[in-house]
Amino acid sequence: MDDEGFRLPKEDDRSAGDGTRCVHAGLPEPTPGAPFLPGPVFAAPYHLDPWQGPAAAPNGYGRPDNPTRRLLEAAIGELEGGDCRVFASGQAAITGLLLAVLRAGDTVVLPADGYFPVRAFATDTLAGNGVRVLFAPTAGPYPDFTGVRLVLVETPANPGLDVVDLPALAERAHTAGALLAVDNTTATPLGQRPLDLGANLVVASGAKALTGHSDLLLGYLATRSAPLLEQATAWRTVTGAVPGAFDAWLAHRSLATLDLRLARQTANAEALARLLAARPDVTGVRWPGLPDDPAYPVASRQMRRMPGVLSFDLGGAERVARFLDAARLVGAATSFGGLHTTADRRAQWGDDTPPGFVRLSCGVEDTVDLVADVTAALDAAT
């Protein structure tokens, strides 16, 4: 790590709790009179040494170089357990990975039930560039990986919340000579660390639960492979898919409360999942933490904590609209992982889900208030 990144002593990486790691991740060494987290550095060009040029200092030009961005990368890298590069959005991180790694004639396996724009990008762009694209459900079955260059999975899947056994999938992929990349957006690095479970790469949107304040766009890639990191860095540099300094600073500021936010969101998700599962007017309830959920056997073994996201079906678009109109604490909004509870009818975005399918993201409201509000809104919608 460069001298701008602070890391807990190596022997403490595992013994420190999640809250401690989140609070201290990526902070610089303390300097008297300086803040805990320096303010964002806004610069396009920097002063250069007239004799040595960019070799004399870490910053030469704003697209590849920014100290605020490097501190954030150090922080996320500590939480994911690898080296990190941040991107302008989660989609930029995923498409950057795919375009940096794949070439014409390669084969990629993507989730059939994952984030819809990734599938659209694959069929519209990757296939047009000569990449063979295969799709598989998160829970399987998966095709033969012989000749496959990259397997990308999203677990828990968005929005259906299926979970895949990552160590088993990693073994299959590596035996066939394929790379395994994991979209860790829903879980966050406190929910699971895919690099510890055999993945070669992690990608995620940082706009959701990782930063949690619904006020920025961000994505990232993490890996323990120097060649893969170099490929991703070179791609980001030449395409310019970098986040702004203020977004990077906001993200780093928000990481400190990740453990606290996730604890309340998970508690709220459990309470709502149990409420919804008990109601005869709600179907298809999915949350990996429910013992009778199809994902529970793998999720309970693989994940360190369950997500604050759940899904269910209210039978039709009109009933979803009535539910959202009646709710006081549930906002109608896309995305997930924020401080405020939101619900999203995914079919309105062109996602291939039933018209009454709802993805609900739990915020940090008091659990008893949220349960009462959702109960009243469902009663009113019926």
Dump pLDDT digits (tens) for 262-303. Answer: 999 999 999 999 999 999 999 999 999 999 999 999 999 999
Residue 157, pLDDT > 80, answer: yes
First to last CA, the chain: 56
Residue 1, pLDDT > 70, answer: no
Q: What is the largest CA-CA distance in the chain?
A: 75
Percent of the chain with pLDDT over 90: 94
pLDDT band at 372 (very low <50, low <70, confident <90, very high): very high
The pLDDT of residue 6 is 34
The pLDDT of residue 350 is 84
Boundaries of CATH 3.40.640.10 in the chain?
10-255
Instruction: Look up the CATH number of domain 259-381.
Output: 3.90.1150.10
Instruction: Look up the CATH number of domain 10-255.
Output: 3.40.640.10
> Rounded CA gap, 378 and 282, in Å?
9
Residue 109, pLDDT > 90, answer: yes
> Rounded CA gap, 79 and 227, in Å?
21
Per-residue pLDDT tens digits for 55-69:
999 999 999 999 999
- Residue 162 exposure: Cα atoms within 13 Å on the Cβ side: 16
pLDDT band at 12 (very low <50, low <70, confident <90, very high): very low
The mean pLDDT value for 349-359 works out to 93
The mean pLDDT value for 219-232 works out to 98
Torsion of CA 261, 342, 253, 251, to 10 degrees: 130
Strand 342-345 and strand 150-154: the pairing is unpaired
Boundaries of CATH 3.90.1150.10 in the chain?
259-381
Percent of the chain with pLDDT over 70: 96
The pLDDT of residue 2 is 38
Which parts of the chain are beta strand (E)?
Answer: 83-87, 107-111, 132-136, 150-154, 179-183, 201-205, 219-223, 283-286, 309-313, 331-332, 342-345, 357-361
In this predicted model, which residue has the larger pLDDT, 276 or 7?
276
Residue 369, pLDDT > 60, answer: yes
pLDDT band at 183 (very low <50, low <70, confident <90, very high): very high
User: Is the separation of the CB atoms in 157 and 168 below 8 Å?
Assistant: no
The pLDDT of residue 13 is 58
For residue 166, which phi and psi values (nearest 5 degrees)? -70, -45
The pLDDT of residue 289 is 98
> Rounded CA gap, 150 and 109, in Å?
6
The mean pLDDT value for 139-145 works out to 97
**Cβ burial, residue 145 (10 Å; 0-12/13-18/19+):** buried
- Residue 132 exposure: Cα atoms within 13 Å on the Cβ side: 8
